[in-house]
Structure 1
């Protein structure tokens, strides 16, 4: 685990208890953001095998299982404290939890599953990776999916220019300051966001296409947040 990854993991470990309570306030477009991702994950067959990357406390996982209870869901996250909360939240469902960094996933997974996942999902996690690691991960995801499989990535998007990025940032900051979050909570969030390595829309779309996905689209966007969907050919 590299230094940056350790910093990200530690920041989430320290804030694991407050993460869920603050999430809706820190994400002004919460309902549309997660709702779009959940809708795109609607299974077209029973017992779909789903891998969730950067699953955290299981917030997104619970939404998925409440909407589509037949999913066979495996959660991966590099922060054990977050997965402890996920285990409690998801105790009604037979989920699998794996503590692993993105670089450790291939060895953490049972290799016979490689190429067999019906869906790979992620929400607000991949933006922590460098651009090189994002592009590599997208290629790995394509390899992990079975023919016809789907990748859904609900994540941050940086502005296409510094001017746009400043506008997106100020819009988000104004929105969270309009909530009842304390200034301490806001400053803690800003410290976590300083570790972000968010990429532009075009870069992320290009990496998905280069990874081999036959269909790549942006299903929804609100300023610096978006939901990508990429399908593997049959």
Structure 2
């Protein structure tokens, strides 16, 4: 059963009440999001193409980022297209999704002061998508607002491999020995060479559609993250669902592995 976005006075009252229950000091710095269920949403509504679900999901992403910005969240990472998607999705469906993501990157670059960064392997992507992501990065590089990571052509395990390869390559350029490399290889050095190097790890990972799995998303960075799963399909996500997630996060006792 699809959830409809509330528009009445009771919904607005409840949203306002939730916001007042969230203290600014308890808002996560970095939120990661898997907006899942777009295809299921389109099929439930009887659309002849799941592209309608992807478009609705892209529109929801813009809305979601606005919610994050309003609460003072500084970094958001969005899982949009995995390496597995590139290999396994139907070619026509994948072509639609690629065009939609390229359009989304352009829309984000036009959204005021947000900064866009691609996280993933650009060499795996079609030229038009790689160009759109690079253009969005270039156009927003000097922006100081919400930092938006777009995980496209992304895989968490591949990211770790790429990070280790960068470390090895740079060590080789300096003429270091294998013993020195082994001695200096630390979790911190790997973290610095990830696609999100220099950013704080996500405090909270949210996934829609009721699925409760990571799907190779931020495998390294989410080691100490909190997780929150929402039953609503991606395009049906409401602001109150998001605010509940933040409120729930704020009440947790984060032990960081303890």
Which TM-score tier does this pair reach, normalised by the shorter chain? 0.3 to 0.5
State the TM-score, normalizing by the size of structure 2.
0.34
Q: Could you say which structure has the greater relative contact order, defined with CA pairs below 8 angstroms and 6 or more residues apart?
A: 2
State the TM-score, normalizing by the size of structure 1.
0.36
Greater strand percent: which structure?
1
